[in-house]
Chain A
């Protein structure tokens, strides 16, 4: 099956520093990747849609200058949390949709998630 890998799975950083999270599709190409944020005991909230070779589309209320998304290749998207603060502590999950020819009608494949703790 399709595999999406995130790295790191767990990161602790000091307030004010920046953290980069990588999302890779290991066995398929993903034109589109999505970044979600999950608070404890809550649902996944869509943060942004990342399209290869173009700017990400952010959901209302998500600061694009704080959550920098880069989708430089068909297998890699990165989320950088800039000047992190304790309220940014959360579980960040990426997902990817395979290109046409493989279940392109809607199924997303999810990464394992990255837990960010900002001290």
Chain B
């Protein structure tokens, strides 16, 4: 099956800073999703992005399917952005990376 690698594993920012999270996948995928997991465990959908670029407020994502990677950009970070960010690729099933733990300090 496909392997999904995320980097960096941990990221600490000051409020207001920008960041880029990366997701590499070992084989082509039919779909790619980005999630934010809050401290209570809820996985919140951020983007469904098999290819191209999408933006939603301060967040945007780009997937380059031919090069098997996706990037999540967070601009002007806020303390509420803290949590774990997961990407997941789909072939026959959804395969998650190990996540990037983001801590935004005030």
Q: Do A and B form a real pair?
A: no
